[in-house]
Amino acid sequence: MSFDKIIGQEKVKRKLSFYLDGQHKTLLSPHLLFVAPRGSGKTLLAQTYASQLLNSEGKKRKLITINCSTLTSLKSFINDVCIPYVSGKEISILFDEASEIPIAVRMALLTILNPNRENRNEFTYDDVTIEFDFKKVTFLFATTEAHKIFHALIDRLERIDLEEYSNDDLAMIVQKNVDAPIDRDAMEEVKKVLRGNARKATQMANHICLYLSSCNKQAFMMRDWVDFKNKLGINALGLTPMEIKILKILSEKSLTTLTNLSAKTQMSRQSLQRDTENYLQKLNLMEIAATGRKITSQGKQYLESLK
């Protein structure tokens, strides 16, 4: 059992190792729901876990990963997933972006995953009955929006919440993916712009590799970081141009409504809340009150530092 390729997430890896040890002895694994923000590596972690589940012959089970946006109906779930992959097979099925599972499929999963002592259930659709033997079939789900999944379905799953990555974890991800030394001072600056995000760390590593290759350099030093961030337009704390624009809009008034912010940025209210405000709040650069949004003293200091 190994999660060597996964950096960080130590508590989660211990829990998953416990489940794997049990599955290797009993062939039974809980059906798992991996929950984390975008870019946190939940799908990779789920796939790494699933890749180590064993079949009745002690060999690795096959894994199929389904992007739930492609599940258009219960009929497609039965005909495209269950009949070809479940009937008479030993398989693990990962539903990625599980919040997008159609309602009819969610309702079917309530029946399929209903817990019982036999650890098996049957589901009938259009005169076709499919048996789900959980010594042979394991369901895994990954989502950023667990609140959009039926509570009754969540109750049938073991929830795995990923931990927040430390800056040192992110630095290890960057270094692991760059086949060249990175100067300590440069790495300290790199860590500050990764937004606490494992995917961003991997993307940063790819960009550093491209930079080193294009400049024919054997190491990434502090002077390289200065040149690198200027070429890519990397802002302090990893803020995007839109996030900086929002701070500037907020600095114009003591309070700004979400509607007004949406009008000035030409972004939808939902997009503002989902894609920009969370990170600005995390860094304490803005606050949200009942009457509107406002910039914090740290937000004002950030804007001053850009001048």
**pLDDT, tens digit, for every residue of 272-283?**
988 889 899 999
Given a cut of 60, whether residue 168 has pLDDT beyond it is yes
- In words, the CATH class of domain 241-305 is mainly alpha
Residue 279, pLDDT score: 92
- Does domain 10-161 fall under CATH 3.40.718.10? My reply is no
Given a cut of 80, whether residue 1 has pLDDT beyond it is no
Residue 129, pLDDT score: 93
- Nearest Cα residue to 6 out of 35, 38, 47: 47
Tens digits of per-residue pLDDT, 173-188?
A: 999 999 999 999 999 9
Write out the residue limits of the CATH 1.10.10.10 domain(s) in the chain. Answer: 241-305
Residue 274, pLDDT score: 83
Write out the residue limits of the CATH 3.40.50.300 domain(s) in the chain. Answer: 10-161
d(CA 20, CA 53): 7
Write out the residue limits of the CATH 1.10.8 domain(s) in the chain. Answer: 167-234
The amino acid occupying position 244 is I
Given a cut of 80, whether residue 232 has pLDDT beyond it is yes
Query: Could you tell me which residues come within 8 angstroms of residue 197 by beta carbon, excluding any fewer than 6 positions away?
Result: 37, 38, 39, 40, 165, 170
Q: Please give the CATH topology (third level) of the domain spanning 167-234.
A: Helicase, Ruva Protein; domain 3 (1.10.8)
Residue 307, pLDDT score: 84
Task: Output b/e per residue, 206-223; b: 16+ Cβ within 10 A.
Answer: ebbeebbeeeeeeebeee
The amino acid occupying position 182 is I
Tens digits of per-residue pLDDT, 104-123?
A: 999 999 999 999 999 999 99
For residue 234, count other CB atoms closer than 10 A to its CB. 18
pTM of the model: 0.87
Residue 177, pLDDT score: 95
Using DSSP, state whether 70 is helix, strand or coil: helix
d(CA 306, CA 244): 10
Residue 273, pLDDT score: 87
Could you list the beta-strand ranges (E) of 111-250. 120-125, 128-133, 137-143, 158-161
